[in-house]
Amino acid sequence: MQTHAEPPSDWRGILKQLGPGLIISANIVGSGELIVTTKLGADVGFMLLWFIILGCMVKVFLQVELGRYTISTGKTTLQALDTMPGPRFRVSWLVWCWLIMFIATFFQLAGIVGGIAEVLQLGGLDLKDTILAFFVTSSCAALLFIGRYRFIEKFSTIMVASFTIFTIFAVFSLYWTDFGIKGSQIAEGLKFQIPSDLAVALGAFGVIGVGAAELIYYPYWCLEKGYASNVGPNDGSEAWQARAQGWIRVLKWDAWASMVIYTGATVAFYLLGAAVLHGQNIAIEKDNLISNLSNLYTTSFGNVGLWVFLVGGFAVLYSTVFISTASNSRLSVDFLRMFGWIKTKDESSRVRHVAIACIALPALYFIFYVTVGNPLGLVFVGAIAQALMLPFLCIAALYFLYTQTEERLRPSKAWVLFLWISSAMMATVGIYQLVDKLKSM
């Protein structure tokens, strides 16, 4: 008879069970923060600080609901999306929407690969960007081919901790320069002002905090961490209910802890962009992406800051490619399995297919980069696609909550209200993006 792990009852036990949120944080504290958020600060100054904070906080409600559904049913995100009512062609219409976004994120990851190549060139490697891009993608594939969940979890933790701490330190170090951040500037950023051009701001909204891609990734890492298997199948018993509620409590701690981490990092990047780049009228464009971003650190730390930026920039961008590939490989296998194109009879066969995907996906990123180029533009393609996907994920989460989530596991009315508010905000951003793009066609 199979036994299931009881949820931890004290905070020490809960801390030991945190992990999926750290992996997601490692993915979040990457291109969205270093490139997109910083560009937003460089473009508009402190004006949208409130928008950055709000964009990070509102998505955690959706993150928890997708995790709640996975814990209580044991289904992956794509399996859940496939249950949505509406048109079907082999799979649900929402799975096809996800596939479009999934392909678009290849552009984003290809752009990050190009950004890593520029970092290495700025560090003195006199090699063509295509050669460096090949090195990045092939090394990522090799590490993931031999790595497993615990390796990915530890890698994520180290990457997030090191670069985030230094970035926050860089913000406070501005006090000793001409670009020290004043209380009046923070107050200005909290006045709920809106710039005349919302394109960059709404593009940033798609990737700051938990983007659509990370929302879809999160349940997969909750499954690999063992949250759902610890709960077990729903047998209708009170013991099952108690286990499910306990592990959902752990999931909430995990989600909120990761929110604190990535919100702190996102705000730090934004403040650096607003204080240093906007303060010096330095624009972030495709031809000067990495070299101009290095000003974030050289302003505080001089030449030493340049080398810290190069090491840290490589780490944060590489971790994004690494974690995204690890996540996308699991999604790819799940998608192909839904179509019956591959068979995974047991866990070992699934792991084998995931390892193969970890080689194939970086190869696609390399091809996209060599074919298209322009790292900044590539990153924004993925950012916009994620923003467009957010309303559909909101609809799905609300549908799961009201029709498929075990009634005994449903959240409080206050939580549901915040879920509706955050869903409305994300839907508004996604619809605005769609209308704006249709007008420009």
pLDDT in tens, 208-262: 666 788 889 999 999 989 899 899 888 888 999 999 999 999 999 999 988 888 8
Alpha carbon distance 383, 313 (integer Å):
19
Highest mean pLDDT among 3-12, 15-24, 305-314, 390-399: 390-399
Contact, 397 vs 66, CB < 8 A? yes
The torsion of the CA quartet 151, 206, 121, 133, rounded to 10 degrees, works out to 60
Q: Report H helices in 29-128.
A: 31, 38-44, 49-57, 59-73, 77-81, 93-122
Short-list 3, 47, 29, CA closest to 312: 29
Alpha carbon distance 211, 405 (integer Å):
23
pLDDT of the residue at 11 = 82
Cα(first)–Cα(last) distance of the chain, in Å? 60
The strand pairing partners of 88, in sequence order, are 92
Handedness of CA 71, 73, 77, 81 (dihedral sign): negative
pLDDT of the residue at 136 = 92
Task: Give the relative orientation of helices 212-225 and 295-338 as an angle to the nearest 10 degrees.
Answer: 70
In terms of pLDDT, which residue wins out, 158 or 48?
A: 48
Question: Which of the four pLDDT bands, split at 50, 70 and 90, describes residue 166?
Answer: confident
Question: Which of the four pLDDT bands, split at 50, 70 and 90, describes residue 122?
Answer: confident
Q: Please, how many CA atoms are within 13 Å of residue 83, restricted to the half-sphere of its CB?
A: 17
Is residue 47's pLDDT more than 60? yes
- Tell the residue number behind the tokens 């809106």, with chain if given: 194
Average pLDDT over residues 141-146: 88
Question: Which of the four pLDDT bands, split at 50, 70 and 90, describes residue 1?
Answer: very low
Residue 285 CA to its chain's centroid (Å): 23
Is residue 398's pLDDT more than 90? yes
Contact, 380 vs 114, CB < 8 A? no
The strand pairing partners of 91, in sequence order, are 89
Q: What is the DSSP letter of 237?
A: -
pLDDT of the residue at 341 = 83
Is residue 411's pLDDT more than 50? yes
In terms of pLDDT, which residue wins out, 212 or 198?
A: 212
Domains and CATH numbers, the chain: 11-440 (1.20.1740)
Alpha carbon distance 437, 119 (integer Å):
32
Question: Percentage of the chain with pLDDT > 90?
Answer: 27
The torsion of the CA quartet 359, 379, 332, 161, rounded to 10 degrees, works out to 70
Three-class DSSP category at 210? coil
Cβ neighbours of residue 181 under 8 Å, at least 6 residues apart? 171, 174, 175, 271, 275
Is residue 297's pLDDT more than 80? no
Rg (CA), the chain: 21
Alpha carbon distance 52, 195 (integer Å):
13
Structure tokens at 53: 């904070």
Alpha carbon distance 110, 372 (integer Å):
9
User: Chain-wide mean pLDDT for the chain?
Assistant: 83
CB atoms within 10 A of CB 419: 20
pLDDT of the residue at 206 = 58
Is residue 357's pLDDT more than 90? yes
Handedness of CA 249, 252, 254, 257 (dihedral sign): negative
Is residue 207's pLDDT more than 60? no
Handedness of CA 317, 318, 323, 326 (dihedral sign): positive
Question: Which of the four pLDDT bands, split at 50, 70 and 90, describes residue 430?
Answer: confident
**Amino acid in position 62:** L
In terms of pLDDT, which residue wins out, 82 or 317?
A: 82
Average pLDDT over residues 378-405: 83
